[in-house]
Amino acid sequence: MQFREEKVNRSELGLETEGLPSTLLELHLDYNKISTVELEDFKRYKELQRLGLGNNRITDIENGSFANIPRVREIHLENNKLKKIPSGLQELKYLQDDALLPGQLQGHGEAATKRRYW
Protein backbone atom coordinates (compact mmCIF):
# COMPACT_ATOMS: atom_id res chain seq x y z
CA MET A 1 0.00 0.00 0.00
CA GLN A 2 1.30 3.45 -0.92
CA PHE A 3 0.81 6.35 1.47
CA ARG A 4 0.01 9.61 -0.24
CA GLU A 5 1.12 12.41 2.04
CA GLU A 6 2.61 13.24 5.43
CA LYS A 7 2.70 16.75 6.90
CA VAL A 8 4.95 17.60 9.80
CA ASN A 9 4.59 21.39 9.95
CA ARG A 10 5.28 23.81 12.78
CA SER A 11 6.35 21.00 15.04
CA GLU A 12 9.59 22.61 16.18
CA LEU A 13 11.41 19.52 14.95
CA GLY A 14 14.64 19.15 13.15
CA LEU A 15 14.70 16.68 10.29
CA GLU A 16 12.90 13.76 11.94
CA THR A 17 11.56 11.22 9.45
CA GLU A 18 11.97 7.96 11.35
CA GLY A 19 8.68 6.16 11.77
CA LEU A 20 7.12 7.63 8.64
CA PRO A 21 6.03 5.17 5.92
CA SER A 22 8.73 4.60 3.31
CA THR A 23 6.09 4.60 0.55
CA LEU A 24 5.23 8.30 0.89
CA LEU A 25 4.61 10.26 -2.29
CA GLU A 26 4.60 13.67 -0.55
CA LEU A 27 6.49 14.79 2.53
CA HIS A 28 5.95 18.29 3.93
CA LEU A 29 8.49 19.36 6.54
CA ASP A 30 7.87 23.09 6.25
CA TYR A 31 8.04 25.47 9.23
CA ASN A 32 10.30 23.36 11.40
CA LYS A 33 13.81 23.95 12.71
CA ILE A 34 15.73 22.01 10.07
CA SER A 35 19.22 23.47 9.59
CA THR A 36 20.97 20.86 7.44
CA VAL A 37 19.99 18.15 4.98
CA GLU A 38 22.28 15.12 4.97
CA LEU A 39 22.89 12.31 2.52
CA GLU A 40 20.96 9.76 4.61
CA ASP A 41 17.87 11.86 5.33
CA PHE A 42 15.64 10.74 2.44
CA LYS A 43 17.16 7.41 1.39
CA ARG A 44 14.05 5.45 2.51
CA TYR A 45 11.68 7.42 0.28
CA LYS A 46 12.39 6.10 -3.22
CA GLU A 47 8.84 6.92 -4.43
CA LEU A 48 8.76 10.48 -3.08
CA GLN A 49 7.47 12.96 -5.66
CA ARG A 50 7.07 16.16 -3.65
CA LEU A 51 9.28 17.41 -0.82
CA GLY A 52 8.50 20.52 1.19
CA LEU A 53 11.40 22.01 3.15
CA GLY A 54 10.35 25.66 3.03
CA ASN A 55 10.50 28.08 5.94
CA ASN A 56 13.16 26.26 7.91
CA ARG A 57 16.71 27.29 8.84
CA ILE A 58 18.55 25.27 6.21
CA THR A 59 22.06 26.59 5.59
CA ASP A 60 23.58 23.49 4.02
CA ILE A 61 22.45 20.59 1.86
CA GLU A 62 25.02 17.80 1.62
CA ASN A 63 26.01 16.90 -1.94
CA GLY A 64 23.86 14.03 -3.22
CA SER A 65 21.15 14.38 -0.56
CA PHE A 66 18.40 14.32 -3.18
CA ALA A 67 19.91 11.50 -5.27
CA ASN A 68 18.02 8.96 -3.15
CA ILE A 69 14.67 10.37 -4.29
CA PRO A 70 14.99 9.92 -8.06
CA ARG A 71 11.24 10.34 -8.77
CA VAL A 72 10.94 13.72 -7.04
CA ARG A 73 9.10 16.32 -9.13
CA GLU A 74 9.08 19.24 -6.69
CA ILE A 75 11.46 20.36 -3.96
CA HIS A 76 10.33 23.41 -2.01
CA LEU A 77 13.25 25.28 -0.42
CA GLU A 78 11.89 28.81 -0.09
CA ASN A 79 12.67 30.96 2.95
CA ASN A 80 15.75 29.15 4.16
CA LYS A 81 19.30 30.39 4.65
CA LEU A 82 20.98 28.66 1.72
CA LYS A 83 24.04 30.38 0.33
CA LYS A 84 24.52 28.09 -2.67
CA ILE A 85 22.38 26.10 -5.05
CA PRO A 86 22.30 22.44 -3.96
CA SER A 87 24.37 20.23 -6.24
CA GLY A 88 22.92 17.20 -7.96
CA LEU A 89 19.56 18.70 -8.88
CA GLN A 90 20.35 18.51 -12.58
CA GLU A 91 20.51 14.70 -12.32
CA LEU A 92 16.89 14.50 -11.13
CA LYS A 93 15.17 13.83 -14.44
CA TYR A 94 11.60 14.27 -13.16
CA LEU A 95 12.25 17.51 -11.27
CA GLN A 96 9.85 20.16 -12.61
CA ASP A 97 8.64 23.04 -10.51
CA ASP A 98 11.18 24.08 -8.01
CA ALA A 99 12.06 27.72 -7.50
CA LEU A 100 14.48 29.77 -5.43
CA LEU A 101 13.00 33.18 -4.99
CA PRO A 102 14.85 36.01 -6.76
CA GLY A 103 17.64 37.36 -4.61
CA GLN A 104 17.52 34.48 -2.15
CA LEU A 105 20.98 33.35 -3.15
CA GLN A 106 23.17 36.38 -3.38
CA GLY A 107 25.93 36.27 -5.93
CA HIS A 108 24.35 33.57 -8.09
CA GLY A 109 22.81 35.90 -10.67
CA GLU A 110 20.41 34.43 -13.20
CA ALA A 111 20.74 30.84 -11.94
CA ALA A 112 19.22 31.81 -8.61
CA THR A 113 16.29 33.71 -10.12
CA LYS A 114 15.04 31.11 -12.60
CA ARG A 115 12.02 29.04 -11.60
CA ARG A 116 14.09 25.98 -11.01
CA TYR A 117 13.84 25.49 -7.21
CA TRP A 118 11.05 26.04 -4.70
Which residue range(s) make up the domain with 67? 1-118
The per-residue pLDDT for range 43-88, each reduced to its tens digit, is: 999 999 999 999 999 999 999 999 999 999 999 999 999 988 788 8
Global confidence as pTM = 0.77
CATH of the domain at 105: 3.80.10.10
Residue 12 CA to residue 35 CA, distance in Å, equals: 12
**Residue 18: its pLDDT value, please?**
75
- The total domain count for the chain is 1
Cβ pair 20, 42 in contact under 8 A = no
